Amino acid sequence: MNIDAADRTILERLQTDGRITNTELAEHVGLSPSACLRRVRALEEANVIEGYAALINPTAVDRATTVWVEISVISQEESILDEFEAEVVQHPAVRTCHLMAGDFDYLVRVEVADVPDYEKIHRTHLALLPHVNRIRSSFSLRSICDRTAYELA
């Protein structure tokens, strides 16, 4: 899909206010409401807009501690990676998991209440994942930057 200036303006505004009405969005972009709605639907259908969500303060839901977990597996064989990936995502505290290039195979972000909560997840989930060779955990002291919006200009 070719994204033009009007689409970029729509996307920028929706990133900062996903609850904006179509009429307000159309006014902001300088389009009629029907033209604006057609563009938004086209962006959704092309999967440029993947969905809409509320951003929740982790402290408010007792998930104030972020742990970055570097995991190495025993081999890069496809079946081993597939088994690991199918299991790692099963725990709700696992917020993101990325296959990496470099010194370790996966970088996993876990959000928990506190250190004892992480220890429990480490013992009952992470340490039991298939084909794990090494786990290294680092605790975030505080978040400096955690952007949700992309600059599209």
> What pLDDT, in 10s, does the model give residues 56-66?
999 999 999 99
CA distances to 58, 111, 113 from 65, rounded to whole Å, are 8, 6, 6
Mean pLDDT along residues 73-82 = 97
Question: Could you tell me if 79 and 30 lie in one domain?
Answer: no
Mean pLDDT along residues 23-41 = 98
What integer pLDDT is reported at residue 153 of this predicted model? 75
Question: Could you tell me if 63 and 120 lie in one domain?
Answer: yes
Question: Could you tell me if 41 and 63 lie in one domain?
Answer: no
Token pair listed for 28: 């902001």
Question: For residue range 123-150, what is the model confidence (pLDDT) as tens digits?
Answer: 999 999 999 999 999 999 999 999 999 9
Q: Is 41 in a helix, a strand, or coil?
A: helix
pTM for the full model? 0.88
Find the CATH number of the domain harbouring 30. Answer: 1.10.10.10
Mean pLDDT along residues 109-134 = 98
52 found inside a domain:
no
Residue-range definition of the domain harbouring residue 23? 5-45
For the chain, give the percent of residues with pLDDT over 70: 100
Asked whether residue 87 carries a pLDDT value surpassing 80, the answer given is yes
